[in-house]
Amino acid sequence: MKPVLVRQHEETTPPGLLVEWLRERGIPFEVHPSWDETPNPEEYSFVASLGSPYGPNDTHDPGVVEELKLIGAAVEKDVPVLGLCFGGEVLSSVLGGRVERAPAPELGWREIETDDPGAIPAGPWLEWHYERFTTPPGAVEVARTADAVQAFRQGPHLGVQFHPESTVEIVAGWAGADVENLAALGIEDGARLLAASPERQEAAREAAFRLFDAFLAQAATDRSENSAGDAGGKE
């Protein structure tokens, strides 16, 4: 089995629960920092692109440009992409969607409205973003809040605006570094947005594992259908 390629864009945005899930399921993986050499996506079973303080419109940053190229190559070669927040924004951009300033930032815990709760649970989810993606042309919007699309699918690809991979400890680091933006919103203590009981944190972990399982199953189904179609075309 080919390994999974996990794209990490900052030291402060580790894969967290995604790596826990990969290890628990016995799935090989490689975590590649996006500031290193860009790998060939065809060497991997799927690509997971994580969060970043940048957005896909920040093309002054070389790492953003490289990620747009890599995700574009993955889509072109039918390598499934799991885009998480920034990764979802990059996926939307590559597929012809837009990334724009959100009418209100989504910070802390959120419940979402979902059309497919078995694959995209309603939450609880951790969010930390000031921009939002649109559903690309030809994709299917799966979930939303009043302020942003939260999930879309196109073929084997899935983009989400929330952070199923992140824990309270990870996002607390972002809140601690985001003092200026929070102050402008009248928020004195970002950590308070993340307060959660152990039960809620465990529910978020279980929701993340369901989402990752469903993504993997959909990617396998899409791959089988494509293989069958290719075989049929050769008869």
Q: What is the mean pLDDT of residues 204-210?
A: 98
Which of 9, 85, 127, 131 is flagged as catalytic? Answer: 85
Look over the chain and give the mean of its residue pLDDT values, rounded to a whole number: 93
Q: Which of 218, 87, 76 is nearest to 153 (CA)?
A: 218
pLDDT in tens, 92-104: 999 999 999 999 9
Active site residue 60: no
Q: Which phi-psi region, left, alpha or beta, contains residue 140 (left: φ > 0; alpha: ψ -120 to 50)? A: beta
Residues 45 and 32: their CA atoms lie apart, in Å, by: 15
pLDDT in tens, 181-200: 999 999 988 989 999 999 99
Q: Does 146 reside within a domain?
A: yes
Q: Does 167 reside within a domain?
A: yes
Q: Does 117 reside within a domain?
A: yes
> Residue 205's pLDDT is what?
98
Q: Does 139 reside within a domain?
A: yes
- Amino acid in position 34: S
Active site residue 89: no
3-state SS, residue 140: strand
Domain that holds residue 83: 4-230
3-state SS, residue 197: coil
Q: Which of 30, 41, 201 is nearest to 124 (CA)?
A: 201
CATH number, domain of 102, equals 3.40.50.880
pLDDT in tens, 121-164: 999 999 999 999 999 999 999 999 999 999 999 999 999 999 99
- Which pair of tokens denotes residue 193? 């947005």
- Which pair of tokens denotes residue 231? 């075989």
Confidence band for 220, pLDDT divided at 50, 70 and 90: confident
Confidence band for 223, pLDDT divided at 50, 70 and 90: confident
Q: Count of domains in the chain?
A: 1
Cα four-point dihedral sign 165, 150, 117, 77: negative
Which of 106, 127, 131, 165 is flagged as catalytic? Answer: 165
Residues 205 and 211: their CA atoms lie apart, in Å, by: 10
Q: Which residue has the higher pLDDT, 16 or 35?
A: 16
Q: What is the pTM of this model?
A: 0.93
- Which pair of tokens denotes residue 110? 């959120």
> Residue 234's pLDDT is what?
40
Which of 9, 129, 157, 163 is flagged as catalytic? Answer: 163
Q: Does 211 reside within a domain?
A: yes
Q: Does 235 reside within a domain?
A: no
Q: Does 207 reside within a domain?
A: yes
Q: Does 49 reside within a domain?
A: yes
What are the φ and ψ backbone dihedral angles of 31, each rounded to 5 degrees? -100, 115
Confidence band for 83, pLDDT divided at 50, 70 and 90: very high
CB 71 within 8 A of CB 47: yes
